[in-house]
Amino acid sequence: MSQAPILITGGGQRLGRYCAERLHDDGHPVIITYRRERPAIEALRKRGITALYADFSSESSILEFIARLKAHTHALRAIIHNASHWQRDEDSTACGEDFALMFQVHMQAPYLINLHAHTLLMACPEPMRDIIHITDYSAAHGSQRHMAYAATKAGLENLTLSMAGRFAPDIKVNAIAPAGIMLNAGDSDDYLAHLNSKSALPAVPGPMVIWQGVRYLLDSAFVTGITLPVDGGRHVK
Ligand SMILES: NC(=O)C1=CN([C@@H]2O[C@H](COP(=O)(O)OP(=O)(O)OC[C@H]3O[C@@H](n4cnc5c(N)ncnc54)[C@H](OP(=O)(O)O)[C@@H]3O)[C@@H](O)[C@H]2O)C=CC1
Ligand SMILES: Nc1nc2c(c(=O)[nH]1)N=C([C@H](O)[C@@H](O)CO)CN2
């Protein structure tokens, strides 16, 4: 198994934590980023997962994280950009500050980290090196209620195409576009029914389906520049 670690951003909860734990179970050294300290972070540390603080809300703080990352490791097997800023009711704020924050987290952080960490990926002794962007179904389809979120996730999907071409053949660059994977605290039964009604395969499956996509992309030597939809077949509903 690769001794070069896999970095996953926003690994302190939910999808990111689940994937970090599965990567560790598979024998990969794992580095997560977190912004808010919490018991789950300490639990991950006790499993042997490295937790690095990262706030992606400004260029300077992104660059500060990159410096911490390079001080911690000289190589990376993969980078998984999972961190994300999302609001249930985006329109209730409808402010430029939130749009700017989503740009920072969804686009500028992956852009700067991928470019600055290219040398770390190239130092990986393994034959395969990966970048995986976690986007969203709405990147390709729009979202009337989450316009800024969808637009910045679309930008991340476009970065996938550019960087896949730029970094080939040494590094594969792909995206996973989830939809309706996990509920949030306070989501009603009506909202669950609403989510189920939007998919051809009605379910809110939980993080395992995203982990399956991550594992596939890491293991596939002949796939780059794609966006893997993990959305219950919304496009055929
Ligand atoms: N859950 C779902 O059903 C769906 C999820 N997705 C995408 O999948 C990914 C994972 O989703 P989910 O687990 O629900 O995500 P969360 O909403 O739980 O966010 C993941 C992490 O992002 C981190 N984060 C947020 N803002 C910043 C910031 N400014 N700087 C650094 N880190 C930040 C948070 O870290 P901390 O907690 O330490 O502050 C958080 O733990 C996301 O990219 C999301 O957009 C797409 C479609 C559906
Ligand atoms: N960063 C996040 N992005 C998204 C979330 C989330 O909780 N955090 N949730 C969704 C789902 O579609 C949501 O509506 C179902 O719980 C989209 N993106």
Q: Does the ipTM exceed 0.85?
A: yes
* Third-level CATH fold of 6-230: Rossmann fold (3.40.50)
If we measure between CA atoms, which residue out of 158, 235, 160, 162 comes closest to residue 201? 235
* Residues near 26 by beta carbon (within 8 Å), at least 6 away in sequence: 1, 215
Pocket of ligand 2 contains residue 43 by CB under 6 Å: no
Q: Residues 18, 53, 149, 216: which is the catalytic one?
A: 149
Pocket of ligand 2 contains residue 231 by CB under 6 Å: no
Cβ atoms 42, 12 nearer than 8 A: no
pLDDT tens digits, residue range 126-154? Answer: 999 999 999 999 999 999 999 999 999 99
Residue 217 CA, distance from chain mean position: 13
pLDDT, averaged across the chain: 96
Percent of the chain with pLDDT over 70: 98
Residue 215 binned pLDDT confidence (cut-offs 50, 70, 90): very high
Nearest-angstrom CA–CA distance, 100 and 58: 9
pLDDT tens digits, residue range 147-176? Answer: 999 999 999 999 999 999 999 999 999 999
The answer to whether residue 1 scores a pLDDT higher than 60 is: no
Domain boundaries defined on the chain:
6-230
Query: Cα(125) to centroid of ligand 1, in Å?
Result: 30
pLDDT tens digits, residue range 74-118? Answer: 999 999 999 999 988 887 766 788 999 999 999 999 999 999 999
Nearest residue CA, atom 35 of ligand 1?
Answer: 10
Pocket of ligand 2 contains residue 191 by CB under 6 Å: no
Query: Would you call 149 a catalytic residue per the annotation?
Result: yes
